[in-house]
Amino acid sequence: MRKLIFNLHLYTALVVGLFIVILGVTGSIIAFEAELDVLFNPSLFKVQPGPKPLPVSDVFGALKAAYPHQKFGSLYLPSAPDRSYNYTSYNKGAHNTQIFVNGYTGKIIGTRSLPTMLGNIHQLHMRLLMPPAIGKDITLIASFVLLWLVGSGIYLWWPLKRVKVKWGASLRRVAFDLHSTVGIFAALFLFVLALTGIFVHFDESLDIHLNKMAHVAEPARMLPSRVEPGVAPISPDEAIATAKAALPGTKPNVIFLPVGPKGAYRVNMYYPEDLTGNRSWVIIDQYSGKQLFVESSRTAVFGTKAIIENRAIHTGQIYGYPTKILMSLASLITVLMTITGYYMWWKKLKTVKTREPQSVAETLV
C-alpha cells in the first residue's frame, strides 16, 4: 500500500508539477498585486493632494472634455488623498485603455494599455492565459492534485517523521530532507490554499447554491429607476452621498452611472475589513435619489458571506499583511517542493539498481 501511495504521489506530481509551480509563483505575486501596481507606476496612481478635491461630476466632465467621443459609464475613486481617479475604456477587438485623472485639478495624468504585466500574471494564475473553459479547468485539476499531494505526503512522511535537514549529507539526501521537513510544516497552508482555490473556482454557483440552502434571496446587482417626467437626475456626488449614508463607515470605490432613462446608480463601497474587492454596494434611483437596494458585507446573506471569507483566506487578506505574507510564502514553497521532488526522481532514474526498487524514503534511510 505504501509503495502504491508513493508511486501515485510521485507520478501525479511529475505530471502536474509545472502547473502547481505556475500557480504558486503567480499566487505569491498577486497577493500584493495592488501594492506592486502602485509601486511600479507612481506617476499614474499618485497625485499631490490639494486643498479640496473636485466634485466627482467635474472629474467626469474633465474626462468627457479630453475624450469627447467616449462614453463614460463608471469611475474608480481614489482610496487615499494622494491617489488618482481612473477609468477603463473597453474597446472591442483592441487593447483596453486605462485613463488616470488628478482629482484636484481635473488633469489627465496618464494612460496605459491593458492588460498590464501584473494583469497577465493574474490571468496566468486564474486560467493560465488560456480560454476560460480550458485554463480554469486545468487550474482546478491542479488544485485537486495539490490536495492529494499534501494528504499523501503526510502519509509518506509519518513513519520517519523527519523534521530536520542533514546539510552535510549528499545533495540527494538534502533534497529529501528539505522536501520532507518543509513539506510537513507547510502542509496545512498548502491544503488551505488548494481547498479555497477550488471553492473560488465555483464562486458563482456556490453562492447561489448556499443561499438556496439557507432560503435567502440573491442580492440584487442592479434595479431600474422609476422614470419621472420633468425631474432631472441627481448628480454622481449626490448618489455617493446617499451611498455613504446608507452604509456608515464605508468608503466609495466605484461609481456606475445610470444606463438610459431607466438605469440606476450603483456605488460600490468597502469597509476597512473589505480587502478582497467590492463586497458592499448601494443601488440608487437616478431621479428620486432613493435607495433601491443596499448590500453590506457585514450583514451579507449566508452564501455571499461564505464566498467573501473564502476569498479572504485564499488571498491571505483575512488578517491583512501578516496573513498575506504567510500565504505568499506558502505559495512559493510549492516551487521548492517541486524542484526537490523532481531532483530526487531524476537521481533515482540515474541510480543503477541491483535489487528490487525501493521508495526514496527507504533508499535514503
- Of the pLDDT bands very low, low, confident and very high (cuts 50, 70, 90), residue 206 is confident
pLDDT higher than threshold 70 for residue 362: no
Cβ-defined contacts of 202-209 (< 8 Å, 24+): 203/307, 203/311, 206/303, 206/306, 206/307, 207/303, 207/304, 207/306, 207/307, 208/303, 209/303
Q: Does residue 129 fall inside a structural domain? A: yes
pLDDT at 277: 64
Domain that includes residue 93, residue range: 45-110
* CA distances (Å), origin 189, targets 33, 47, 212, 214: 20, 38, 30, 29
- Boundary of a domain, candidates 82, 110, 138: 110
Q: Does residue 357 fall inside a structural domain? A: no
pLDDT in tens, 330-342: 999 999 999 999 9
CATH number at residue 284: 3.30.505
User: Are 115 and 7 within one domain?
Assistant: yes
User: Are 13 and 127 within one domain?
Assistant: yes
User: Are 129 and 210 within one domain?
Assistant: yes
Q: Give the total number of structural domains in the chain.
A: 3
Distance CA 268, CA 218 (A): 17
- Boundary of a domain, candidates 88, 110, 132: 110
Q: Does residue 361 fall inside a structural domain? A: no
Find cell 500574471 and name the residue: 121
pLDDT in tens, 4-27: 999 999 999 999 999 999 999 999
* Contact by Cβ (8 Å): 120, 128: no
> Percent of the chain beyond pLDDT 90?
78
pLDDT higher than threshold 70 for residue 355: no
pLDDT higher than threshold 80 for residue 92: no
User: Are 254 and 323 within one domain?
Assistant: no
What's the rounded mean pLDDT across residues 323-349?
A: 94
pLDDT at 365: 44
What's the rounded mean pLDDT across residues 23-39?
A: 96
pLDDT in tens, 299-322: 988 888 888 889 999 999 888 899
pLDDT at 91: 76
- Boundary of a domain, candidates 64, 95, 110: 110
Starting at the edge strand that comes first in sequence, how are the strands of the sheet with 96-101 ordered? 108-114, 96-101, 85-89, 74-76, 251-256, 264-270, 280-285, 291-295
User: Are 170 and 205 within one domain?
Assistant: yes
Q: Does residue 56 fall inside a structural domain? A: yes
Q: Does residue 150 fall inside a structural domain? A: yes
User: Are 163 and 290 within one domain?
Assistant: no
* Contact by Cβ (8 Å): 153, 9: yes
- Of the pLDDT bands very low, low, confident and very high (cuts 50, 70, 90), residue 259 is very high
What's the rounded mean pLDDT across residues 209-214?
A: 82
pLDDT at 93: 61
Output the pTM of the full model.
Answer: 0.88
User: Are 132 and 260 within one domain?
Assistant: no
pLDDT at 219: 86
User: Are 204 and 238 within one domain?
Assistant: no
Find cell 446573506 and name the residue: 301
pLDDT at 304: 83
Distance CA 267, CA 221 (A): 11
Helix (H) / strand (E) element for 252: namely strand 251-256
What's the rounded mean pLDDT across residues 26-39?
A: 96
Instruction: Determine the length of the chain.
Output: 365
Per the model's pLDDT, the better-predicted residue between 86 and 133 turns out to be: 86
Q: Does residue 317 fall inside a structural domain? A: yes
User: Are 124 and 164 within one domain?
Assistant: yes
pLDDT higher than threshold 60 for residue 180: yes
Bridge partners, residue 310, by sequence: none
Distance CA 202, CA 112 (A): 32
* CA distances (Å), origin 139, targets 14, 21, 183, 194, 200: 16, 11, 21, 10, 11
pLDDT higher than threshold 80 for residue 276: no
Distance CA 335, CA 23 (A): 10
pLDDT at 358: 53
pLDDT at 213: 83
What's the rounded mean pLDDT across residues 104-119?
A: 96
User: Are 130 and 191 within one domain?
Assistant: yes
Helix (H) / strand (E) element for 207: namely helix 203-213
Q: Does residue 363 fall inside a structural domain? A: no
Q: Does residue 365 fall inside a structural domain? A: no
- Of the pLDDT bands very low, low, confident and very high (cuts 50, 70, 90), residue 249 is very high
User: Are 180 and 318 within one domain?
Assistant: yes
pLDDT higher than threshold 90 for residue 272: no
User: Are 126 and 210 within one domain?
Assistant: yes
* Contact by Cβ (8 Å): 99, 59: no
CA atoms 3, 5, 7, 9: torsion sign: negative
pLDDT at 94: 66
> Percent of the chain beyond pLDDT 70?
95
